[in-house]
Structure 1
Amino acid sequence: MTHSSRKVLRFDQWIDRSFDRILGAAPGVALEVAPIADGVASNRARLASATIYQISSVRDEVPPALQVTAELLGHCPQLLCVSTTGAGYDTVDVQACSRAGVLVVNQAGANANSVAEHALCLILAVSRRIGECAWRMRHDTGYAREDLMGHELLGKTLGIVGLGNIGGRAAGMAAAFGMRVLAYDPYLDADVISARGAEKATWAQLLAASDVISVHCPLTAETRNMFDAAAYGAMKPGALFVSTARGGIHDEDALHAALVAGHLAGAGLDVWAVEPPEHAHPLLALHNVIPTYHIAGVTHEARRNVATMAAEQIVSMLAGQRPPRMINPQVWPRVLERLNSPEPR
């Protein structure tokens, strides 16, 4: 490969056609679509000559040996950037990339509207007991409508954990239903949170005051298992728990226990520790749980936005322009130096 032709590698997993179209029209860019079924050895050999690695942000869609680790990076001397297919970057060891001088970028905001809509959909479905109603209509007899009585959202308090692109959209949508919105986000001050349509709350305040909690933060060492038995126990009796963020932020066993005990009234879950969860997963047996398969951001519009954003960010970065969605921006000067070097290094 010549210096004037930078290879972008992605696997042959579904992506909106705009990604290939934009990169295919970009001068000096060679897109390779690698069959993931070819296995680890073949695909690692392909990655050895890649400048950009476009990778799914969902752990269960990428074999562990092809996820971005320090060990993999040791086999990729020409790699300058890892670009994920969403806001998350669960398949990427960011610290290892930073040590290797490899930039990590995501597509934050591209699917924000779709995910926020899905969160509100889950909140409504659990609050109005739609899943239980559907099951009983198909399998049960001798019940009254009042046996399926739910609650309005008007006047209730929504607690949002993580008020970024998605959390901010969810706050605006909740306000349209007449909900009071609290937000726990230690990285935002009260003025920013207010501008995004919420009231700043401490962790303890949010747990104690919220009728519904909706999770919109990334999975990090800080947030892993932040919703454990103690957190569920501190929530209001009869509260609802919803997550469209990442599996691993909430402890599934502890959530099941809180629901079975009757402390929590229901849950809406789009994300799981293992995706999809096994049919025998205890949470799937509960009528007050609305389960979906990590589809909050999987709409035609969101997938098109993500693919377009990713391709345009890659093209502009290879042209030497500072990417707008960097996870480890401190390595950008080093990446820019390597981009401008006469020979890849």
Structure 2
Amino acid sequence: MTAAALRVVRSDLWIDAAFDERLQREPGISLSVFRVRGPSAAAWDLLSQAHVYHVSAAKDELAQEWFVRADLIARCPQLLCVSSSGAGYDTIDVAACTAAGIAVVNQAGGNAASVAEHTFGFILGLSRRMLEGDRRLHRETGYAREDVMGHEVQGRTLGVVGIGHTGRRVAALARAFGMEVIATDPLLAPQEIERRGARPVSFHELLAQSDIVSLHCPRDASTLKMMNAEAFARMKKGALFITTARGGIHDEAALVDALRSGHLAGAGLDVWDREPPPLDHPLLAMDNVYGTFHTAGVTHEARRNVARIAADQIAAFAAGERPPRLVNPEVWPAFEQRRARILG
């Protein structure tokens, strides 16, 4: 293929400088940036000629006009590859891309260390009731230390739902703290789950046996509202629920009920149906809810790593190679035909 022809387009939403710096060193790549709050016509002029569209994975930061759906694909006839800015791809209709012969890549694993650390921050903060203690210290006096007495995590059981890049790092941290780790993952054989540091169990067994349940699975048709009222009821009384996965996998109303009833002792939530959640959200009014604004993977190190991985994948694509983090591998034969036709 002729690498000199490859046109990459991204929006002006924040991205670590490593992305632009890497691509600007490649002689066969041109990079253009459109303003998400600028004139739509200017953006479409760039996108309609793009071969690669690097799109934000943050569904509530990007106007839906710029989501990769069938209508955008129809207006971008030369589009060959869509690159997500993170591990998730909520802003991309993967099925529509596959049908059009467009490769979709993500940056899975690029922020795994940061998300795992954030997860364990939730685990320690909730188990030791640090957040409750901090809030009470700021607003009142005269209470006993025992009023905010928590539990050690040593000897407790952590249930990991999805033991991929992040889940396996969480499992390693948990073992270092002396926890038992169990996991469920429909994409992995039991032997592989064991190799990744957890005892394999079914989803229902995990809910019943875990003192802490932590989600690290993708959001798709099989996981939407997976953590519903029935699932929360299956968890141990006094258990903790944690998610750094994606909003929509847990039912927020059902979680409110499980916490209000006292069945669950607390929750650590980095992801929400709407991000950020409204200030009057009932979960934010609870002292036993540790909430963050989808920042588990937002560290200087993770953002730089993800930007570098994304740029490396695009550079590999420009060189005619198959990118290592291909979300829809079944597209490859159709993709190669389109690449040959469009790029020569």
- Preserved contact between residue 105 and residue 326 of structure 1 (Cα < 8 Å): yes
* Between 36-45 and 74-83, the greater mean CA deviation after superposition: 36-45
The one-letter amino acid of 1:121's match is G
- 2:230 matched to which residue of 1? 230
> Which secondary structure state, in structure 1, belongs to the residue aligned with residue 223 of structure 2?
coil
Measure the CA separation in 2 of the matches of 1:193 and 1:163: 7
The one-letter amino acid of 2:150's match is G
Measure the CA separation in 2 of the matches of 1:179 and 1:196: 15
Measure the CA separation in 1 of the matches of 2:321 and 2:304: 23
Measure the CA separation in 1 of the matches of 2:334 and 2:319: 15
- Preserved contact between residue 111 and residue 297 of structure 2 (Cα < 8 Å): yes
- 1:284 matched to which residue of 2? 284
- Preserved contact between residue 320 and residue 339 of structure 1 (Cα < 8 Å): no
The within-5 A match list for 1:223-262 is: 223-262=223-262
- Preserved contact between residue 40 and residue 65 of structure 1 (Cα < 8 Å): no
Is 1:300 paired with 2:310? no
- Preserved contact between residue 107 and residue 325 of structure 2 (Cα < 8 Å): yes
- 2:159 matched to which residue of 1? 159
What TM-score does the superposition give when structure 1 sets the normalisation length? 0.97
> Which secondary structure state, in structure 2, belongs to the residue aligned with residue 36 of structure 1?
coil
Measure the CA separation in 1 of the matches of 2:281 and 2:180: 33
- Preserved contact between residue 53 and residue 82 of structure 1 (Cα < 8 Å): yes
Measure the CA separation in 2 of the matches of 1:41 and 1:69: 18
The within-5 A match list for 1:32-51 is: 32-51=32-51
Measure the CA separation in 2 of the matches of 1:41 and 1:257: 47
* Between 54-63 and 42-51, the greater mean CA deviation after superposition: 42-51
1:171 shift after superposition:
0.5
Measure the CA separation in 1 of the matches of 2:96 and 2:230: 33
Unaligned runs of 5+ in 2: none
Measure the CA separation in 2 of the matches of 1:24 and 1:303: 18
The within-5 A match list for 1:1-345 is: 4-341=4-341, 343-344=342-343
Measure the CA separation in 2 of the matches of 1:280 and 1:43: 36
Give RMSD over aligned pairs: 1.3
Q: Deviations over 1:126-147 (max 9, x none)?
A: 1111111111101012100000
Percent identity between matched residues is 53
1:61 shift after superposition:
1.5
Measure the CA separation in 2 of the matches of 1:125 and 1:225: 25
Q: Deviations over 1:37-77 (max 9, x none)?
A: 11544323321000000011111111111101111100000
Measure the CA separation in 1 of the matches of 2:250 and 2:39: 32
Q: Which runs of 4+ in 1 moved over 6 A?
A: none
1:338 shift after superposition:
2.9
Measure the CA separation in 1 of the matches of 2:310 and 2:186: 28
- Preserved contact between residue 101 and residue 338 of structure 2 (Cα < 8 Å): no
- Preserved contact between residue 16 and residue 303 of structure 1 (Cα < 8 Å): yes
> Which secondary structure state, in structure 2, belongs to the residue aligned with residue 324 of structure 1?
coil
1:36 shift after superposition:
1.0
- Preserved contact between residue 78 and residue 344 of structure 1 (Cα < 8 Å): no
> Which secondary structure state, in structure 2, belongs to the residue aligned with residue 280 of structure 1?
coil
Measure the CA separation in 2 of the matches of 1:218 and 1:256: 22
The one-letter amino acid of 1:45's match is D
The one-letter amino acid of 2:337's match is E
What TM-score does the superposition give when structure 2 sets the normalisation length? 0.97
How many residues are aligned here? 343
Unaligned runs of 5+ in 1: none
1:6 shift after superposition:
1.4
The one-letter amino acid of 2:182's match is L
1:243 shift after superposition:
0.3
The one-letter amino acid of 1:275's match is E
- Preserved contact between residue 3 and residue 29 of structure 2 (Cα < 8 Å): no
1:344 shift after superposition:
4.4
